[in-house]
Amino acid sequence: MKDVTFTNLTQFIKVRAARSERYIVAISGAPASGKSTLAADLVTWFGHSAAVLPMDGFHLHNDALIELGLFHRKGAPETFDAEGFVYLMRNLRQRNRVSFPTFDRETDRTIPAGGCIGVRTRIVLVEGNYLLLNIRPWSDLAEIFDLTVSLDVSRETLVHRLIMRWRDHGLSDLEARMRALGNDIKNADFMAKHSRMPDLVLRTEA
């Protein structure tokens, strides 16, 4: 495990991706740690040769979560189609073009085939909470990634960001705090306890 800056990370990926037809990078971190922002910044830096593949599209539908009694735990590892996600990740090696589902936070639902990794995409930036989880079937991802990067953000910053996220979705201060501390931080703690070590760590409070 090695600490890096954003500039270090871009150079690291650039050198190693040059040796591969398709280079797959895992960007892992707690909810609100900045995974999506980092992935978007990397795509801006690398241009059309890179694309983002979010794990969030593999959320189980709300109806399924209600039936399973897991709706209150939405966002926990067991509320994702982990096997489907692992299957798709393996296809990144075997196919030039891969479609994947995305997640719409405004409507709180998945969109089938909402995204696509194209033929010319050489760098795939996979972002999600549980990419380094050491529990099957998530642990099967270890053999797929060429590089694993983890975002390290203080607990205080995470709580603040999560509360602001829920407030932006229309919740009151109390409701936002209850959501952040009642589920999101629990998921973050579980991820931290059961994840394997990443190759690189990017520490930021920005």
pLDDT tens digits for range 138-177: 999 999 999 999 999 998 999 999 999 889 888 898 988 9
Cis ω for the linkage preceding 31 (within 30 of 0): no
CA distance 93 to 88: 9
Residue 206 has pLDDT above 60, yes or no: no
Question: What's the confidence (pLDDT) of residue 39?
Answer: 97
- CATH code reported for the domain at 2-154+196-203: 3.40.50.300
DSSP label at residue 181: I
Residue 95 has pLDDT above 80, yes or no: no
Residue 93, token pair as written in the block: 């090696």
What does the domain layout of the chain look like in residue ranges? Answer: 2-154+196-203
